[in-house]
């Protein structure tokens, strides 16, 4: 298959912001692909060669890509610098220079998908002292045969800038439209939620139809999208919602880990499907030791503890995210895992079992040790019992409690946030709400001391219905000097020329970013806003919801991607919760 057909689809997607139109472009294209090619096209459309959780990155530095582009287009280094300063996107530069290329090699051949995959794989695997030269060679070899549009996407893929605006939800819509019906969409989404592999789901669907997708199972090695909790402002309300009786567990403040345990190996994944095994090798080994089953997938929270075993705040466990000096970090920052769920036990899919059965299974197949423990849990059927348990949790330095439904419907809902789990935190007692995890979509230059630097950020939530990012606040408080100075390093790779089409905004920042970085923010109140676009026209015509007095907490949520940041619907339900509170 020709790569030009794929680049053409990317190009058409990039100029539309309508999710319906994207779906129809993609489904029309997907229908005619063979299952194997479809799988690869799906990965490429997300800027990858594999699913996210493989952790393999093409990761070519911008400079290296620019050198390849300069080489094949014959422009000088100084001209390249000029273009780089103006454009800041190697894809755009490559496209521009190839449009103006005087002559194309006589030996040039149309690029095929096969050749693109081969060379990208070589780039990914290049190792050793001359790895940079090799990467340049493989990329130049592709660019030689590229049209300007093909070059734009190749350069974006290798530098990790591939954002055509079709997120995983749009891809699932398109797959359902191409190979099934609207009614099949939930089954296709479930397959994605239990495998985290959109390419695999697409291949199975194109090969065996929806029936084959329904048979896909939870497996060790494929991370499962995590189940998430709703929030309510008081313990009596939680009990009401849970029909008067529920389980309560301590809510630990650490890093959520999903452990995939097989006979002789253990892999730990973050909730963003990053491989965390090398950050917690001691926990991985101990889980294998204490697990009596051959295979299991469990979830728990990794928390840093002091020498007496007392819980330490979240920041302490992040020391384990270092790349070097792990042996010392293990000694200096002891960690425990508190297990709270089991999703697979000896090849049996536990996600379809109610909570109580899962908990019994978890307790049945693990022995506890100092490092591997279960979350503290109690069954609660009266508000006073709940309040007492909450105080106990705070006394042990936990964030609050997690209430869990004991009903027969309380299965593990991969990838969904619902009232089967309800969180209640200390913050809810003091301020109006929970903290907000928001994604950065723009920045404003500062004044005075902050002149010439980013002084404030435009922050957005994810709107699951439209697949867009909608603004909720301009954030200029809570930053210290060091954080502000580091902002260009953190954000400039995601600079966008103009407003990215997946961002809905009326406010105009000085620069725009592709939604990528997620920051934790607290606020005094959620209010109706004439300028912000979150939940627009829902509570009131021509008004959205915005945050009053937002402040950065200092926590960068690098465990969350933009699609995992807070959703517009969550902000809306928090607004409603706040309104009830005031009544």
Residues marked active site are found at: 251
Is 301 among the residues that bind ligand ATP (CB under 6 A)? yes
Choose the stretch contacting ligand ATP; rule: CB under 6 A; options: 138-146, 171-179, 245-253, 328-336: 245-253
| Residue from the set 163, 371, 423, 501 that interacts with ligand ATP by CB under 6 A | 423
DSSP for 104-136? --TT----BHHHHHHHHHHHHH--STTHHHHHH
Q: Are 203 and 36 in contact (CB under 8 A)?
A: yes
Residue showing tokens 């928090």 = 574
Q: Are 559 and 272 in contact (CB under 8 A)?
A: yes
Choose the stretch contacting ligand ATP; rule: CB under 6 A; options: 195-203, 251-259, 309-317, 486-494: 251-259
> Which residues does residue 159 pair with via DSSP β-bridges, in sequence order?
none
Residue showing tokens 């009053």 = 548
Nearest-Å Rg of the Cα atoms of the chain is 25
**Cβ burial, residue 275 (10 Å; 0-12/13-18/19+):** middle
Nearer to ligand ATP by Cβ, of 252 and 575: the residue is: 252
Mask for 8-47, x = binds ligand ATP (CB under 6 A): ----------------------------------------
| Residue from the set 150, 249, 274, 282 that interacts with ligand ATP by CB under 6 A | 249
Residue 475 CB, shortest distance to ligand ATP, in Å, is 17
Nearer to ligand ATP by Cβ, of 124 and 249: the residue is: 249
Residue 280 CB, shortest distance to ligand ATP, in Å, is 14
Q: Which helix (H) or strand (E) holds 300?
A: strand 296-304
Q: Long-range contacts for 344-348 (Cβ within 8 Å, ≥24 apart)?
A: 344/218, 344/219, 344/220, 344/295, 344/296, 344/297, 345/293, 345/295, 345/296, 346/293, 346/294, 346/295, 346/296, 347/295
Mask for 89-128, x = binds ligand ATP (CB under 6 A): ----------------------------------------
Question: Which candidate, 501, 504, 507, places its Cα nearest to that of 530?
Answer: 507
Q: Are 281 and 326 in contact (CB under 8 A)?
A: yes
Q: How far apart are CA 346 and CA 219, in angstroms?
A: 10
Choose the stretch contacting ligand ATP; rule: CB under 6 A; options: 7-15, 108-116, 250-258, 315-323: 250-258
Nearer to ligand ATP by Cβ, of 250 and 552: the residue is: 250
Residue 367 CB, shortest distance to ligand ATP, in Å, is 20
Q: How far apart are CA 275 and CA 400, in angstroms?
A: 27
Nearer to ligand ATP by Cβ, of 114 and 313: the residue is: 313
End-to-end CA gap in the chain: 62
| Residue from the set 251, 353, 536, 551 that interacts with ligand ATP by CB under 6 A | 251
Mask for 522-561, x = binds ligand ATP (CB under 6 A): ----------------------------------------
Nearer to ligand ATP by Cβ, of 40 and 258: the residue is: 258
Is 336 among the residues that bind ligand ATP (CB under 6 A)? no
Nearer to ligand ATP by Cβ, of 157 and 302: the residue is: 302
Q: Are 431 and 452 in contact (CB under 8 A)?
A: no
Is 269 among the residues that bind ligand ATP (CB under 6 A)? no
**Cβ burial, residue 575 (10 Å; 0-12/13-18/19+):** buried
Nearer to ligand ATP by Cβ, of 31 and 396: the residue is: 396
Choose the stretch contacting ligand ATP; rule: CB under 6 A; options: 112-120, 180-188, 246-254, 500-508: 246-254
Pairing type for strands 255-261 and 400-405 reads unpaired
Choose the stretch contacting ligand ATP; rule: CB under 6 A; options: 153-161, 244-252, 344-352, 500-508: 244-252
Choose the stretch contacting ligand ATP; rule: CB under 6 A; options: 7-15, 97-105, 243-251, 445-453: 243-251
Nearer to ligand ATP by Cβ, of 147 and 416: the residue is: 416
Q: How far apart are CA 176 and CA 170, in angstroms?
A: 10
Q: How far apart are CA 328 and CA 309, in angstroms?
A: 18
Residue 417 CB, shortest distance to ligand ATP, in Å, is 6
Mask for 363-402, x = binds ligand ATP (CB under 6 A): ------------x--------------------------x
Question: Can you state the percent helix, strand and coil of the chain, rounding each to 5?
Answer: 45, 25, 35
Torsion of CA 390, 393, 399, 403, to 10 degrees: -50
Eight-class DSSP state of 54 = G
Residue 136 CB, shortest distance to ligand ATP, in Å, is 40
Residue ranges in 340-369 that form contacts with ligand ATP under rule CB under 6 A: 340
Is 228 among the residues that bind ligand ATP (CB under 6 A)? yes
Q: How far apart are CA 307 and CA 195, in angstroms?
A: 38
Nearer to ligand ATP by Cβ, of 328 and 396: the residue is: 396
- 320: tokens are 């384990």
Q: How far apart are CA 326 and CA 316, in angstroms?
A: 14
Is 320 among the residues that bind ligand ATP (CB under 6 A)? no
Contact residues: ligand ATP, CB under 6 A: 228-229, 249-252, 256, 271, 301, 340, 375, 402, 423
């Amino acid at each position: 298959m020709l790569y030009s057909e794929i680049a053409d689809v990317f190009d058409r997607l990039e100029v539309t912001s309508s999710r319906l139109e994207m779906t129809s472009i993609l489904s029309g294209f997907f229908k005619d692909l063979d299952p194997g090619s479809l799988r690869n096209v799906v990965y490429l459309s997300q800027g990858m060669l594999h699913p996210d959780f493989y952790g393999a990155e093409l990761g070519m530095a911008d400079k290296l890509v620019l050198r390849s582009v300069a080489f094949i287009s014959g422009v000088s280094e100084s001209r390249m610098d000029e273009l780089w300063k103006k454009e800041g996107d190697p894809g755009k530069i490559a496209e521009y220079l190839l449009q103006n290329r005087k002559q194309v090699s006589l030996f040039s051949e149309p690029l095929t998908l096969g050749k693109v995959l081969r060379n990208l794989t070589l780039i990914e695997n290049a190792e050793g002292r001359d790895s940079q030269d090799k990467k340049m060679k493989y990329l130049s070899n592709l660019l030689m045969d590229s049209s300007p549009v093909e070059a734009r996407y190749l350069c974006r893929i290798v530098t990790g800038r591939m954002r055509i605006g079709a997120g995983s939800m749009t891809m699932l819509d398109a797959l359902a439209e191409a190979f099934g019906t609207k009614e099949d969409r939930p089954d296709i989404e479930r397959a994605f939620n239990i495998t985290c592999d959109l390419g695999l789901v697409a291949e199975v669907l194109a090969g065996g139809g929806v029936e084959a997708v329904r048979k896909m199972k939870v497996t060790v090695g494929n991370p499962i999208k995590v189940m998430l909790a709703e929030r309510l402002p008081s313990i009596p309300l939680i009990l009401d919602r849970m029909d008067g009786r529920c389980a309560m567990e301590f809510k630990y403040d650490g890093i959520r880990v999903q452990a995939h345990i097989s006979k002789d190996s253990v892999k730990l994944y973050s909730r963003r499907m990053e491989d965390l095994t090398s950050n917690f090798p001691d926990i991985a080994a101990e889980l294998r030791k204490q697990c009596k089953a051959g295979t299991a997938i469990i979830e728990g929270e990794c928390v840093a503890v002091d020498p007496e075993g007392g819980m330490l705040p979240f920041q302490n466990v992040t020391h384990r995210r270092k790349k070097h000096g792990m042996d010392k970090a293990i000694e200096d920052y002891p960690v425990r895992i508190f297990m709270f769920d089991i999703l697979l036990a000896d090849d049996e899919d536990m996600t379809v079992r109610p909570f109580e059965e899962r908990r019994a299974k978890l307790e049945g197949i693990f022995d506890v040790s100092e490092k591997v423990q279960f979350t503290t849990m109690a069954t609660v059927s009266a508000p006073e019992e709940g309040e007492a348990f909450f105080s106990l949790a705070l006394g042990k330095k936990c964030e609050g409690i997690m209430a869990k439904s004991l009903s027969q419907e309380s299965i593990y809902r991969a990838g969904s946030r619902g009232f089967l789990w309800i969180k209640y935190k200390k913050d809810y007692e003091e301020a109006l709400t929970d903290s907000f995890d928001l994604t950065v979509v723009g920045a404003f230059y500062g004044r005075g001391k902050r002149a010439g630097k980013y002084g404030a950020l435009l922050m957005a939530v994810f709107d699951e219905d439209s697949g867009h990012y909608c603004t909720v606040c301009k954030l200029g408080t809570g930053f210290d000097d060091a954080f502000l100075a580091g902002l260009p390093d953190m954000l400039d790779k995601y600079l966008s020329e103009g407003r990215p089409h997946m961002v809905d905004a009326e406010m105009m920042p000085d620069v725009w970013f592709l939604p990528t970085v997620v920051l934790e923010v607290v606020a005094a109140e959620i209010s109706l806003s004439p300028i912000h676009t979150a939940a627009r026209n829902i509570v009131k015509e021509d008004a959205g919801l915005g945050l009053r007095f937002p402040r950065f907490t200092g926590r960068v949520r690098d465990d969350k991607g933009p699609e995992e940041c807070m959703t517009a619907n969550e902000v809306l339900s928090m607004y409603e919760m706040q309104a009830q509170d005031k009544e």
